[in-house]
Amino acid sequence: MKRYLAIIVAAILLMTVWSSAFAVYDPETDGVSVWDGEITTITVTDRLPGIQLENNPILKELERRIGVRLEISVLDAAQYNSLIASQIAAGDIPDMFYLWDNSSNVNFQKWAQEGLIWNLEELEDKIPNAFTWLNANDLAYGRVPSLDNGLYGLPRMQQLTPDAIPYRGDWLKKLGLEIPVTPEDLFEYCVAVSTQDPDGNGIDDTWGLFITQLGDKGGGLIDKNIREGFGIEPETVAYKVIPAQEGFMELMDFYHDLYAAGGIYPEFYLESDIYADQEAFRAGKVGTMFKTTSLDHTMPYRSNAAEAFYQNNPDGEVVAGYPLQPNGTTAADADSYFHYITMSCWGVFCISKAASEEAVDAACRFLNFGCTEEGVHLLTNGIEGINYKSWDPVLRTKVAFTQAEKEEPGHEERLINAISYLCVQQSWANYGKLTFGGNTPEEKAEYMRRYNELNHGYIVYDNIDTYPGYADLKTKNAELTTKLNDEMMVQYIVGGITREEFTDWLYNVYCPAWEEVEDIVTAVRGPKE
């Protein structure tokens, strides 16, 4: 009896081994291409906050499709650029790495000049998709102008989404106000939120605004959502850096007055977490946040963020406002105003010159795959049935699992999210949106309503970071920028220094150091009309 049993077990084992050893990919059944060569492992360093890498089905699928196994080192997201610089300085150079910054990153320039990373144009035959997927403006983010304008990093382009400022719709109703359109409206709303207890808890614990990350452009105080209300234009339009423009002091005065009127959380300067404003908004403590926020941030379906908001504010409502217009205008004038929006590049991928030939080939396969519809879909959305329920390629709608479905026993893999910063591209070619929001038809309809309402009057402009000479100027003035952001602006807003002290430093020290900007922009765009 035992002998028969042993023979049966052996036969089953043999058949299993046989079938797996000679298994042939059948495109008819799988529907996707599968790698039939050797699997190459490459080392990769990336910024992947909160991503489970072990047993990640997306990485396994990637291996199956393109034969690349990624051995990933994850560095702390908040200090990514300095940590990768330290890693490389220590001689531990990964085959491929992500740099969380665009071409103006000082180290990126230096690494290219020292021959540490590949000029990707030399590898064009291995990553042809990148050169068709991205246009010349996109590729500019990966170029090093001082080095024959070579392409040393593959830019990771994000989808264009209308800028929008989220406000508390329920508070606006309580306070009898409309969605702010101008700086004056915003001022009134912020002061009302700070002084009229809109959450009705009887405690003085709400504020109009919570400022976190500061920055001379792009983020924080001078965010693109607010600066146009003060007539501030991008550097490539104004031919000046933002602090040298007339509207800058008007903007600073706005903050100074708003702070004095109690409209800003008084100890904002103690906060080092760059996302503290979003957390405070979700916690129901502040009336708005405008730092690099887009329409997506105003949508109720935004998974964890929305859940956190509605848990804290079950009766709350978030509404979307258009970027600010100058004082004296109204919402009806919106069509007369436009808003500057730039292509959004979130970092570049670099390939090390120290990598072996096989590793370079594998890295190129990965980047090339990431610039295809198949690759973008896999890396950003994941796998149907595992990372999401279903995908409608026409409507570009992804139906996600609900939290309850994610937590169903036996479906732990549903809790694994897509791999964020490892996505080579986060937009379809020509910046088409990857997904239109919403997990249900109702949510999608609401998103489309807001999208159509806001998606007008945008002008896509050049980012000065891509202009030759700007990176060097930025490096030269790094300490001045730090002083402006980390000290002078905050000091003036809270009244630590007088307006005279601030403008004296601004116009006699800071602005003269940036005068070259006019030449840099003129060299590319010609003299200002």
| Residues in contact with other proteins by the rule CB under 8 A | 79, 81-82, 85-86, 88-89, 91, 106-107, 110-111, 114-116, 205, 265-267, 269-270, 478-479, 482, 486-487, 489-491, 494, 496
3-state secondary structure at position 321: strand
431/452 Cα distance (integer angstroms): 17
Q: Could you give the CA distance from residue 107 to residue 121 in angstroms, rounded to a whole number?
A: 20
Residue with tokens 């549903």: 414
Task: Kindly state the smallest distance separating residue 261's Cβ from other proteins, in Å.
Answer: 16
In single-letter form, the type of residue at position 523 comes to A
Closer CB to other proteins, 158 or 485, in the complex: 485
Which residue's CB is nearer to other proteins, number 106 or number 308? 106
Q: List, in sequence order, every residue forming a beta bridge with 165; answer none if it has no partner.
A: 321
CB of 344 to other proteins, least distance (A): 24
- Residue 349 φ then ψ, to 5°: -105, 130
Q: What are phi and psi of 321, to 5 degrees?
A: -110, 155
Smallest separation, CB 485 to other proteins (Å): 8
SS3 140: helix
CB of 76 to other proteins, least distance (A): 12
297 backbone dihedrals φ, ψ, rounded to 5°: -70, -15
Structure tokens at 404: 């309850």
Distance of alpha carbon 154 from the chain centroid: 16
At its nearest, how many Å lie between other proteins and the CB of residue 524? 26
Q: Which amino acid is at 32?
A: V
State the nearest-atom distance from the C-beta of 122 to other proteins, in Å. 17
137 three-state secondary structure: helix
Q: Which is nearer to other proteins, 89 or 460 (CB)?
A: 89
In the complex, least distance from residue 505 CB atom to other proteins, rounded to whole angstroms:
12
Residue 140 vs 191, nearer CB to other proteins: 191
CA quadruple 491, 492, 495, 497: dihedral positive or negative? positive
Q: Which residues pair with 390 in a beta bridge?
A: 399
Q: Smaller CB distance to other proteins: residue 110 or 449? A: 110
Query: Shortest CA distance to 127 belongs to which of 375, 344, 354, 465?
Result: 375
If the CB atoms of residues 190 and 378 are measured against other proteins, the closer one turns out to be 190
Distance CA 47, CA 161 (A): 22
Residue 179: exposed, middle, or buried by beta-carbon count in 10 A (0-12, 13-18, 19+)?
middle
Angle at 490 between CA 488 and CA 493, to 5 degrees: 110
Distance between CA 261 and CA 277 in Å, rounded? 19
Between 265 and 388, CB nearer to other proteins? 265
Nearer to other proteins, 73 or 81 (CB): 81
Q: In whole angstroms, how close is the CB of 302 to other proteins at the nearest point?
A: 28
Q: Which is nearer to other proteins, 14 or 89 (CB)?
A: 89
Minimum CB distance to other proteins smaller for 301 or for 510: 510
Q: Which is nearer to other proteins, 92 or 148 (CB)?
A: 92
Nearest to 365 by CA among 56, 129, 122, 47: 129
Q: Measured in Å, how far apart are the chain's first and last C-alpha atoms?
A: 96
To the nearest whole angstrom, how small is the minimum distance from the Cβ of residue 58 to other proteins? 32
For the bound state, the minimum distance from the C-beta of residue 521 to other proteins, rounded and expressed in Å, comes to 25
Taking Cα atoms as reference points, which of 347, 345, 346, 366 lies closest to residue 355? 366
- The nearest distance, CB 5 to other proteins, in angstroms, is 59
Query: How far apart are the C-alpha atoms of 316 and 335, rounded to whole Å?
Result: 30
- CA–CA distance, 369 with 376 (Å, rounded to integer): 8
Smallest distance from other proteins to CB 293, Å:
23
Nearer to other proteins, 124 or 205 (CB): 205
Question: Nearest-5° angle of CA 261, CA 264, CA 267?
Answer: 115
The torsion angles phi and psi of 469, rounded to 5 degrees, stand at: 95, -20
